[in-house]
Structure formats: C-alpha cells, structure tokens
Amino acid sequence: MRTQEFSTSLGSSPLTVLLTPLAGQANGSVIVRSGDTTVLVTAVMAKIPREGGDFFPLTVDYEERGYAAGKILGSRFVKREARPSEEAILTARLIDRTIRPRFDLRMRNEVQVIATVLSFDGANDPDVPSLLGASLALSLSDIPWDGPVAGVRIGRKENAWIVNPSIAEREGGELDLMVSGTDAKINMVEGGANELPEDLMLEALAEAHAEIKKIIAFEAEIVAKNHPTKTAVPLAAVRGPLRDALVNNFSERIGDALWTQEKASRNERIAALKAEWVEFAKKEFPNASPQEISYNWEDEMDVVVHRRIIGENRRPDGRRPDELRPLSAEVQIVPRVHGTGLFIRGETQALSMITLGSPGDRLLIEGMEVSAKRRFMHHYNFPPFSTGETKPLRSPGRREIGHGALAERALRPLIPDAETFPYTIRIVSEILSSNGSSSMASVCGSTLALFDAGVPMKKPAAGIAMGLMMEQNEGNRKQETGNSEPNYVVLTDIQGPEDHYGDMDFKAAGTRDGITALQMDVKIDGVTIEMIAKTLAQAKRARIEILEVMQRAIPEPRPDLSPFAPRIAVVKIDPAKIGALIGPGGKIINGIIDQTGVDIAVEDDGTVFVTSVKAEGMAEALAMIKQITKEYKPGELLEGTVTRVFDFGAMVEVAPKTEGLIHISELAPWRVNAVEDVVNIGDRIPVMVRNIDDQGRLNFSLKSVPGRYSEEDIARGQEASRNAPPSYRPPHPRDDRRGPRPPRFRR
C-alpha cells in the first residue's frame, strides 16, 4: 500500500500525517496520529446541489469507537456504539465551527466531514488531530474550500503555559483552551478556566496562534506536494437585475422592519415583507430559482444590518454598542424545588431549577475517552414556545447539548468540592423566551438557583454574549484582508438580527475576578488578538454590571438548605468493614435502605454517605451502620443473640453479620458440662469482649460480665459441677497449635 508520511511535533507529542489509498472513494481522506491516538478523517461532497435549500449544507460527525480504547461499550443487551456521547457531539461542534467559515456559503452541494477515532492512547485527546485531519482532507480534495486551518490546545499549570497538554496534564489546571484559525486570524475559541484574568487569557490566545502558524505551514507543505485541483460548483447568484430590484424596492423597508424593537412584531413585519418579495421576484424574474430568491433576501438583510450599525451607529433597539438590555433577577420562583433562579435580559428569560441528590445520584460516564462519575450537571432545554414556534419535542439536539455544556463549564470551578458539600447537583435551565444569549442567561439563572438552594458557591458567576459587525465586500461574507485594521464595531449583549447576521458570536462567563468559560465562532475569516482584547474588556464591564443586579436579588448563598432538600450525613469506617456493611449480594446495605428509607453510598476509602429527607430514618440508619461497622475493644460490654450452639461453646450475634464465640469455659465461673445448661439458641444475653484474634474474630465471655452471676448462683453452679459425672471437653477450635480436633464423645 503506497503511503506518504509527514511528521512534525505539537507540544511534547509527535504529530504524523499519513496519506493512503484507504477510504479512496471519499473526495478526501487522511490519517492523523498524535502519539498513538489515531484518527481517520474523510470529506465527501455531493455531486449536485441540494434542491430547495437556502443555506450551505455542511455536516460534521465525530465517531468514537470502543475498540480504539480497548473497551466493549454499550448496555447489557446491545454491545455496539449507538447515540454519540456528549463529548463526541461537542468535538463535532468544535470542528464544524472552525471549518464552516472557510466555505463559500453560496454553495448548495452537501458536504460531510467524518472523523473516526481508530486508536486512543489515553494521553492525547483526539480533537486536535481530528481538526487537523478535517483541514487536510478538505484541502487535499477537489471540494472548494478556503483552507487550511489548524487548532491547538493550550493549558496553564503552576503559572506556566502548556502547548497540547496531555489529558493528565489538563487535570487541575488553571486553563483548558482550544483555539483554531488561519495563519492570520483566530476563528474559533472554546475553553474553561479557573477565574483567569483577561490579560492572561490574551497571552494564551497569542501562544496558541503562534503554534497554529507552525501547523498551517506544515499543512501547506503537504498540500503543495499533492497539487489538488478544485471542482467548480454552482453558487447562488448575488449580483444582477434580481439583486438590483431587491435593493431598489425593498432594502430601505427591510431596515425599517429589522429596526422594530419587539421581537414578535419584528418577525411579523419581516415575514410579510419577505412574502411580498418572493411574489415580486417570481413575477418579475420567472427564471430565478427559489434558492437565488431566498439567498439574495438573506444576503441583503445582512448588508442592511451591517450598513446601519457600522455606518449609522444604530442598533435595532436603539442601544449604544456597549449597552445592556434591561436586566431582572429573582429567586424562589417555584415552590418545593430545592432552589430556583429567574434571570431576564430583554426578551430572553432563563428559569433555572436545582435538585440536590445523594452521592449515589452521580452521573456514570462510560465512553471511549473517559470512565468517571460526575457530581455536577447542568442541562439546557430550548422548547419551541421560547421562540413562538411549533415543533416536535425531541431529545436534546447538538445546540442544547453545546449550550448546556458551556454553562456547566462556566460554573464548575465555583462549585464546592465533595468534601465540603457532598451532594450531587443537577441544574436544569428552561429557556422560556429567547432573543439572544440564552446560554449566558442560563449561567446567571443557575447562579441564582445555587444561591437560593444554599449551595456554598465560592463566588457568583455571570455570562454575556458579545457580537461584531465588520465592513464587508458587497455580496461576499469574507472581509478584506490586508495590513490595515478593518472598520468594525463590537456589540455587547447581542440579540435578534445582531446575532443572526453578525460576524462573531463571543460568549464570556466568569466572576468579578476572571473568566471561567469562553466560546467564540465567526462567520468571517477570523478576528485578531486586538479585536478579542477589546471584546474581553467590554464583556468584563457588562459582566460586573450583571453581577450587581444578581446580587441585589440574593447577595450570598442561603445559610440553610431548602426543607425539601435531603440531608447528608458522612461516616468514616474502616475500609476492611465495607464488605460487612454491604453484605453478600448487597443484602445488608439493601436491608438498611428498605427498613429506613435512606440512600447509602459507600466509597472505596471507607467514606459512607447517608442521605435522607426524614430525620428519624437518618438516625436509625446511622445507628445500624455504626453497629455493623463498630470497632470492638477488649473489655467492652455488648448484648447479642445466641445463634448457634456447639459442644465447645456458643456463637452470639451482636450486630448484623457480626458474631463472636463464647467458649464453654467462658460461659460461667464453674465447670460447664453442656452449653445448653447455660444458654440456648435465641437467648438474648450480655457479653464482654475477651479478645480479638489475628484474623479479626471476636471472642466473648459471659462469666466476666459484671453482675451476671450472684454469689448464690456461683455456689450452686460449683456444687452441681462437682456432683456431675466427668466429661470430655474439646479444645478451643481457634487454637491451631493443638492440631486436628478429635472426634466428639462422652465418657
């Protein structure tokens, strides 16, 4: 098999690209290795345009395979990959947001990029090689594409930058940031941080872009040696009589409709105006396709928004570029819920509700890259009524998963650790009304809910969505390139047309002291570090303003949990006692749960979490656990039930599955000829711990219990013992030095 191999390095890992005949029917295919992590990436374009589409149909899929990590994943009954994991969906979104701006959006031929992970070494994340593979597969194919692009991960630990950190190096770091772009601009950012200041975030972006330039040069070398030829595909026309008629008859009216403050009214005016345009175009230009009519409408909307905001400094709702919409924050909205927060910004409404659960409620994650338990979760719902639409209700889509993960990333550094607050925390943000920046509203609503629930958060967090309007070439979505800084406006708190037709969606969340989450994607060829610096500074001012409104609603976490929230008690036991607490097949621990109504979770280090809404159930369960796992000491007085009787003594159960032996010589202060003369099965008797042998087994004494026998009892017993016939007393069964036990007999 003829193979071309190209090698470089990224951080401390070798990076290898293999061009092979594999997947030869795809328009482009490439294999990328980072360490032993190996990814196959393919790119395919449909031969004819999609009929009836009014957008560029690009699909990016990231496929995890269990065999890549040597795992057999799936349920008990289905042992194959099914729905993509959240991690896979987030990686697919990351690649999509990087490569999409490099296509001509007038294309209607469907393009699909698939990254399949063939091998995973546990150290090198497949997302960076997958992005590199997507760029090369497109660049080496005949698909029209303005590449290459590249991505790199930047970490920070102990005040030092780490390029392409391993999965282990990312744990506990101050920053985990994915950055991608071209050799001139940055066009995608995704990451989380532990309150990283804005100046350090800019340093991280600069470090990342320096590495991106190296990878771009590496890609250019590969492309130059293979001389790909691009196919010409039909594009939606944006110039000519059709567009002139639109500009002359509708452009000014489009602006008036877009500059309607209330969203519902704006949508009605635009819909009516578009319907009028479609009828006009069909009548005056019968040869124009529906795609051309629709694309020109959308493109002119874009031009109008840019022209008015940049040229006239007019936002649709009359705000200044750095001005927020009206803000509102409330708590205790819904009864009985453990905590609620309602955050409103303009027409965007996020109602966040929190549920506190036991450690046993943690989410079990089992995937190709990770097997872990998650104790903090944020889920985001975007029902159709939030935009005044009717749609079928389905399981969460890529957008819902991405927005939920972004808000979760923003809050995670501020959640107390399990030692301080052992609860499992689940937040659900319901978007009741949407007009821009609902994911950042979820950060604000979730913070309010956490405070309302009494979760001792380290600090409050807020988020804001920033936008960008940049001068464009007429009829082209790509900006002018050159040395001069283009004319642009950074917008705070984008909504409606600013979001849809804007050139950048930049989400920043954090505290007063720094950034905890960042996400950026663009519709142009990218932005500079200087533009990002201005955006971060403007976002920080907005974030602090939002935090002030939130803290007026609730300044700090409540001192007590909701009366409807469960309480958790933490008990430490000897790890050697875990088996005794659980019992065979979970019999003991399940019995406690059934009897008391609590939830019990046991960690490997002997930490036991008991969760209960009812105080009496909690107390009963704790008493039972204490009894089962008790550390016994010689001389300790106990009470138990005789469960078994032997010739040499009796077994007494002092706690569930905890027994000890009373040797016949320890039953009474006289010679006992038969165990049944003193105790019988079912008797409830006091015992004293005589000793604990090397194997942890208990030996009891009945005769040593203070007050067990009176002087009269002792005298009668001794007299009876003297008059009884002599009998053989077998040796203690735990004295191994005496050899095998002899057969039982009586003289």
Q: Is residue 144's pLDDT more than 50?
A: yes
Cα 99 to Cα 108, 183, 579, 652: the distances in Å are: 16, 14, 54, 73
Between strands 363-366 and 327-331, the pairing is unpaired
Q: How many CB atoms are located within 10 Å of the residue 144 CB?
A: 18
Residue 686 has pLDDT above 60, yes or no: yes
The per-residue pLDDT of the chain, averaged, comes to 90
* pLDDT range class, residue 366, cuts 50, 70, 90: confident
548 and 577 part of one domain: no
The answer on 198 and 111 residing in a single domain is yes
CA 174 vs CA 82, 136, 373, 375: distances in Å: 34, 31, 21, 20
Identify whether 744 is part of a domain: no
At 524-547, the pLDDT tens digits run: 999 999 999 999 999 999 999 999
Q: What average pLDDT does range 488-509 have in this prediction? A: 93
Burial class (CB in 10 A: 0-12, 13-18, 19+), 695: exposed
pLDDT at 735: 46
What does the longest C-alpha to C-alpha distance in the chain come to? 129
Residue 621 shares a structural domain with residue 662 = no
Phi and psi (nearest 5°) for 244? -60, -40
Q: How many residues are given for the chain?
A: 747
3-state SS track over 448-511:
HHHHHHCCCCCCCCEEEEEEEEECCCCCCCCCCCCCCCCCEEEEECCCHHHHHHCCEEEEEEEC
Residues 6 or more apart from 463 whose CB is under 8 A from it? 407, 410, 437, 439, 440, 441, 442, 443, 444, 507, 508, 509, 510, 517, 543, 546
CA-CA distance, 606 to 349, in Å (whole number)? 44
Same domain, residue pair 279 and 406: no
Q: What is the domain count for the chain?
A: 5
- Let me know if residue 365 belongs to a domain: yes
Which residue type is seen at 113?
Answer: V
Question: Structure pTM?
Answer: 0.85
* Measured distance CA(278)–CA(443) in Å, rounded: 40
Q: Is 505 annotated as a binding residue?
A: yes
Summarised one tens digit per residue, pLDDT across range 655-665 is 877 889 999 99
Any binding-site annotation on 452?
Answer: no
Considering the domain architecture, whether residues 212 and 305 belong to the same structural domain is answered as: no
Instruction: Single out the residue of 514, 555, 517, 495 nearest to residue 346, CA to CA.
Output: 495
Classify each residue of 148-177 as buried b or exposed e, where b means 16 or more C-beta atoms within 10 Å of its C-beta: bbbbbbbbbeeeebbbbbbeebeeebbbbb
Domain-located, residue 577: yes
- Per DSSP, 382 falls in state -
**Whether residue 485 has pLDDT greater than 80:** no
Give the end of a domain, one of 312, 336, 368: 312
Res 473: pLDDT: 56
Chain segment 49-87, per-residue pLDDT in tens: 888 777 899 999 999 998 998 888 877 788 888 888 899
Strands 28-34, 504-510: pairing is unpaired
233 within some domain: no
Percentage of the chain lying above the pLDDT 70 cut: 95
Could you tell me if residue 588 is inside a domain? yes
Q: Residue 727: what pLDDT?
A: 54
* Phi and psi based region of residue 285 (left: phi greater than 0; alpha: psi -120 to 50; beta: remaining): beta
**pLDDT score recorded for residue 643:** 94
On whether the CB atoms of residues 736 and 698 are closer than 8 A, the answer is no
Question: Are both 300 and 335 inside the same structural domain?
Answer: no
* pLDDT at 321 (0 to 100): 93
Residue 155: is its pLDDT beyond 50?
Answer: yes
Asked whether residue 560 is assigned to any structural domain, the reply reads no
The CA–CA distances, whole Å, from 361 to 356, 380, 600 equal 9, 19, 10
Q: List all residues 6 or more positions away from 476 whose beta carbon is below 8 Å from its beta carbon.
A: none
pLDDT tens profile 266-320:
889 999 999 999 999 999 999 888 888 888 898 899 999 999 999 888 898 889 9
Rounded distance, CA 279 to CA 555, Å?
Answer: 56
**Of 436, 463, 439, 458, nearest to 540 (Cα)?**
463
State the pairing for strand pair 186-196/175-181.
antiparallel
**What does the CA dihedral 441, 444, 448, 450 come to, rounded to 10 degrees?**
110
pLDDT band, very low/low/confident/very high, at 1 (cuts 50, 70, 90): low
Instruction: Tell me the CA distances in angstroms from 623 to 600, 606, 610, 639, 683, one per residue in order.
Output: 13, 17, 11, 15, 23
Q: Are residues 600 and 652 in the same domain?
A: no
- Mean pLDDT, to the nearest integer, of 619-644? 89
How far, in whole angstroms, is CA 652 from its chain's centroid? 51
Q: What's the CATH code of the domain at 301? A: 1.10.10
pLDDT of residue 327: 97
- Whole-number Å distance between alpha carbons of 254 and 247: 9
Q: Which pLDDT tens digit goes with each residue over 635-647?
A: 999 999 999 999 9
**H/E element, 223:** helix 198-224
Concatenating the DSSP letter of every residue in 297-353 gives HHHHHHHHHHIIIIIH---TTS--TTPPPPEEEEE--SSSSSEEEEEEETTEEEEEE
pLDDT of residue 480: 40
Could you tell me if 202 and 219 lie in one domain?
A: yes
335 and 276 co-located in one domain:
no
Domain that holds residue 369: 327-553
Residue 410 pLDDT: 97
pLDDT for res 526: 93
Identify whether residues 532 and 616 lie together within a single domain. no
| 376 within some domain | yes
Residue that is last in its domain, among 312, 341, 370: 312
107 neighbors 56 (Cβ within 8 angstroms): yes
Q: Which of 468, 475, 463 is nearest to 526 (CA)?
A: 468
Query: Over pLDDT 90: what percentage of the chain?
Result: 68
Query: What CATH number has the domain bearing residue 153?
Result: 3.30.230.70
In a domain, 236, yes or no: no
Please report the beta strands in 554-606, taking only residues with DSSP state E, as ranges in sequence order. 567-572, 599-602
Taking only the tens place, the pLDDT of each residue in 556-590 is: 999 999 999 999 999 999 898 898 889 888 988 99
Report the CATH number that the domain containing residue 644 is assigned in CATH.
2.40.50.140
b/e map 430-454, b = 16+ CB within 10 Å: bbbbbbbbbbbbbbbbbbbbbbbbb
Domain end (from 528, 553, 578): 553
316-363: pLDDT as tens digits: 888 999 999 999 999 999 999 999 999 999 999 999 999 999 998 898
Are 163 and 216 contained in the same domain? yes
Residue 672's pLDDT band (cuts 50, 70, 90): confident
SS3 694: coil
For the segment 705-734, the average pLDDT, to the nearest whole number, is 71
The predicted structure's pLDDT at residue 741: 47
Q: Residue 730 phi/psi, 5° resolution?
A: -65, 155
Is the domain of 581 the same as that of 547?
no
- Asked if residue 43 lies in contact with residue 137, where contact means CB atoms within 8 angstroms, the answer is yes
- pLDDT (0 to 100) of residue 475: 39
Pick the more confident residue, 496 or 131. Answer: 131
